[in-house]
Amino acid sequence: MASREWDMPRITQTEKAHNRQRIVDAASRLFRCRGIDAVGIADLMKAAGLTHGGFYNHFASKDALVTEVCDAAFADSLGLLADLLCQDAEGEPLARVVDDYLSPAHRDAVDGGCPSASLVGGVRIQSDQVQAAYARGVEGYLTGFADQITRDAARNGQDLDPAEARHQAVRLFSELVGAMVLSRAVRRVEPTLSDEFLRLAEYTRTAARA
């Protein structure tokens, strides 16, 4: 009797795209919670509800995945930033952003929120490709902050030099990320200190309301 070849079920392009997104979403959560290097491909695919071997149908390497996670996480975060700035365009939009960023809710959501704070530790030892993706995201924040600082100055009758707006944006964002990283680092053992980092970021709050 002649052998019969069984047709393997073929996955549609829609299903493939859906599975890829599941991997990216799972990776984004796990990288933020555990750190990039602490997450292996087997654990990642299990969290995504897919088989280990299927990873390479979507990504050439873990490095490629980390790069896509950075790009996607920053795209989502910058979209939220733009929404917050637009919602209070005639009030104190930067103050609104600062209050949202330095909130206990943001601190406690370690699997989400701003990727600048949640991925910063792991990115330091990643490839140039990953660091470049992270840098692009950070630049997005700095550009958004500098643009808003310039608009606020113009509304107050000031013609702010672009270099000064950039300087203020770097200071503002550096303190935001630094306060969040420190607050998360001690939250479990020193909750009072953790709250202090969020509450007493004086330069950030003053600059946002200037």
Q: 35-72: per-residue pLDDT in tens?
A: 999 999 999 999 999 998 899 999 999 999 999 999 99
**Confidence tier at 84 by pLDDT (50, 70, 90):** confident
User: Could you report the per-residue pLDDT of 85-94, keeping only the tens digit for each?
Assistant: 887 666 788 9
pLDDT at 189: 98
Coil vs helix vs strand at 27: helix
Q: Residues with Cβ < 8 Å from 168, sequence gap 6 or more?
A: 145, 146, 149, 207
Question: What is the maximal distance between C-alpha atoms in the chain?
Answer: 90
58 CA to centre of own chain:
22
- Alpha helices by DSSP H, listed for 35-92, are 41-48, 62-87
The verdict on residue 72 lying in a domain is yes
**Confidence tier at 177 by pLDDT (50, 70, 90):** very high
**Confidence tier at 5 by pLDDT (50, 70, 90):** very low
Residue 184 amino acid letter: R
Quote the domain boundaries for residue 154. 61-208
The verdict on residue 198 lying in a domain is yes
User: Could you report the per-residue pLDDT of 24-35, keeping only the tens digit for each?
Assistant: 999 999 999 999
Whether the CB-CB separation of 32 and 110 falls below 8 Å is answered with yes
How far is Cα 96 from Cα 91, in angstroms, rounded to an integer? 9
- Give the number of other CB atoms < 10 A from CB of residue 139: 11
DSSP string, 169-194: HHHHHHHHHHHHHHHHHHTTT-HHHH
The verdict on residue 152 lying in a domain is yes
- Give the number of other CB atoms < 10 A from CB of residue 19: 18
How far is Cα 116 from Cα 137, in angstroms, rounded to an integer? 8
Q: Regarding predicted confidence, which is higher, 131 or 2?
A: 131
- Give the number of other CB atoms < 10 A from CB of residue 27: 25
The verdict on residue 42 lying in a domain is no
User: Could you report the per-residue pLDDT of 154-163, keeping only the tens digit for each?
Assistant: 988 999 999 9
pTM of this structure? 0.87
pLDDT at 7: 52
**Confidence tier at 3 by pLDDT (50, 70, 90):** very low
CATH number at residue 127: 1.10.357.10
The verdict on residue 190 lying in a domain is yes
The verdict on residue 89 lying in a domain is yes
Helix (H) or strand (E) segment spanning residue 197? helix 191-199
The verdict on residue 111 lying in a domain is yes
For the chain, what is the domain count?
A: 1
User: Could you report the per-residue pLDDT of 93-146, keeping only the tens digit for each?
Assistant: 899 899 999 999 999 999 988 999 999 988 989 999 999 999 999 999 999 999
- Enter the tokens of residue 50: 């897919």
The verdict on residue 53 lying in a domain is no
166 CA to centre of own chain:
20
